[in-house]
Amino acid sequence: MTEFEPIAGKYFSFDLNGERYRIYVEQAGRGIPLLCLHTAGADSRQFRHLLTDPEVTERFHVFAFDLPWHGRSNPPEGWWLRRYRLTTESYVAIVHGVWRALGLARPVLLGCSMGGAIVLRLAAEYPDELTGVIGLEASAHSPGRYSEFLHHPAINGGELCASYTYGLNSPYSPEPSRRENWWIYSQSGPGVYQGDIHFYSNDWDGRDDLARIDTARCKVALLTGEYDYSCTPAMTEAVAHAVPGAHFQVMKRIGHFPMMENYPGFRPYLLDALRHVTQAVVR
């Protein structure tokens, strides 16, 4: 008999700022809502190991969605008439719109890289709508990452973005997992990775948000791989110092994509972070 993974995928639509978004989401488990945010230029396939981890899904109802323009989510109508550019404002609105459209009551947000950055703003803006946030490879400011070569007519964008991000994996992570992440990145739409990096490197500056985060109302956990040279452990440690009560750990022998490149190595840190952000939650 064929053994199916316990992941259910569905599409839903919602309206935001006069546009209609058709979103793909995968889910598994039951309990506290856990909403996962993928990295720049990728999609929710990065969370497949987490979605099939019974120790997580027996306590958490896990959701992982593809942002518009990413993976299996469509861009809004008329996308061909403009250049894709993610901004802090639009990113906050989309994530907030998704958890409200899904009817998630006080979810935990887990985001990596640009997703790890935006959860800091969301924790500052919506502390009473959230249980907590987990920032993987989370920085408050990451200038210098943007390049016009990330979307150039003379360059194969899929291979460039995939190979560029491949170098952010730890050399200790299993080769098949690093290559799987490469494959996901190679399938990004033209200009999507560059449009995300516009947010992450040009538009994003969350340093003033950190003082507004109240960990008595919204718990914060921060995890960064010791081999991440895009968001270094020191960058995340600076965030932790600015957010009293934040839980911070450096993940040994791990790079920029912990949930994808080395889930077994990431898992103990993840379980600790989940315990931290839900320790005061009564269900």
pTM, entire model? 0.96
Q: Which whole number is the average pLDDT over 10-21? A: 95
Measure Cα distances from 49 to 25, 64, 133, 183, 258 in Å.
15, 11, 19, 16, 11
Question: If you ran DSSP here, which 8-state letter would residue 12 be given?
Answer: E
Q: 118-134: per-residue pLDDT in tens?
A: 999 999 999 999 999 99
| Per-residue pLDDT at 207 | 97
Check if the beta carbon of residue 143 is closer than 8 Å to that of residue 231.
no
Spell out the domain ranges in the chain.
8-278
Per-residue pLDDT band at 157 (split at 50, 70, 90): confident
| Per-residue pLDDT at 151 | 87
Output the average pLDDT for the chain: 96
**Angle (nearest 5°) at CA 189 between 184 and 194:** 95
Q: What percentage of residues in the chain have a pLDDT greater than 70?
A: 99
Q: Give yes or no for residue 220 having a pLDDT over 90.
A: yes
**How far apart are the C-alpha atoms of 257 and 236, rounded to whole Å?**
15
Per-residue pLDDT band at 191 (split at 50, 70, 90): very high
| Per-residue pLDDT at 282 | 42
| Per-residue pLDDT at 132 | 98
If one looks up domain 8-278 in CATH, what number appears?
A: 3.40.50.1820
Q: Which whole number is the average pLDDT over 205-229? A: 97
Sheet with 247-251, strands from edge to edge, namely 8-16, 19-29, 60-65, 32-37, 108-112, 132-136, 219-225, 247-251
Rounded to the nearest 10 degrees, what angle do helices 88-101 and 114-125 cross at? 70
Reduce the secondary structure of 210-248 to three states and give it as a string.
HHHCCCCCCEEEEEEECCCCCCCHHHHHHHHHHCCCCEE
The radius of gyration of the chain's CA atoms, rounded to the nearest angstrom, is 17
Per-residue pLDDT band at 154 (split at 50, 70, 90): confident
Q: Which whole number is the average pLDDT over 18-31? A: 97
- DSSP string over 38-78: --TT--GGGGHHHHT-HHHHTTEEEEEEPPTTSTTSPPPTT
Please choose, from the candidates 53, 201, 42, the residue with its C-alpha nearest in 3D space to the C-alpha of residue 111.
42
Q: Which amino acid is at 22?
A: R
Tallying the residues shown for the chain, one arrives at 283
Per-residue pLDDT band at 283 (split at 50, 70, 90): very low
